[in-house]
Amino acid sequence: MKKNSALNAWTDINSLLRTHKLINAGLILVCVLQLFIIGLMYFSDPIVVIKSEDSQHYYGGRRASVPISEDAVEKFVSDFLKRRYEWTTLDPSAMRKALAPIVTDGLNSKLFELVTHLKEKEFQGKKTSQSIVNVAVSVTDDKVIASFDKLLKIEGIPIPVPTTVSLNIIKGSANAWNPIGLYVNGIKEHQSK
């Protein structure tokens, strides 16, 4: 009897192992199939859905690298200039956060030091604000130049300062905060008195 029960136990274990082997092989096959389908979906062209109040329109999109247009660079530069040169109260930390998505880390640190110096040494706690007007951006293959008028108010007294900046812009990785993927890496400022 012992021999018979040991043989039955051995047969049961082998049967169970074969069943587990088939189940595992089936699960591996399903996982490979799912990975294949996910890969196809990831690399296929997207479908764009535009919703309006009363309807939805579906468009087939294409994945392609789109060159950055001159207009896009001009809008990017205008956005940078507003973040850099406009404020109601001079706050270096707030400016650092505002510039972080569109400038390189090294330039952001230098601008933070400059703005901190302006606040502590130049303005010495006086109430200041600044805005820019008459912005003109010139984009060529090798350089980006912007000219504008800064309107600096110190204790309510306006001081207009014509300014021209030369920007060094590099292409980097795009993200949610910087979908175009451009970053300001350097800036040279020229002011007329």
Token pair 């510039």 is found at 99
User: Is 90 exceeded by the pLDDT of residue 81?
Assistant: yes
Give me the pLDDT at residue 2, please: 63
State the Cα angle at 84 between 83 and 85, rounded to 5°: 105
Q: What is the pLDDT of residues 123-164, one digit of tens each?
A: 887 888 999 999 999 998 888 999 999 998 988 888 899 999
Token pair 């993200």 is found at 175
Q: What pTM does this model have?
A: 0.69
State the Cα angle at 65 between 41 and 143, rounded to 5°: 155
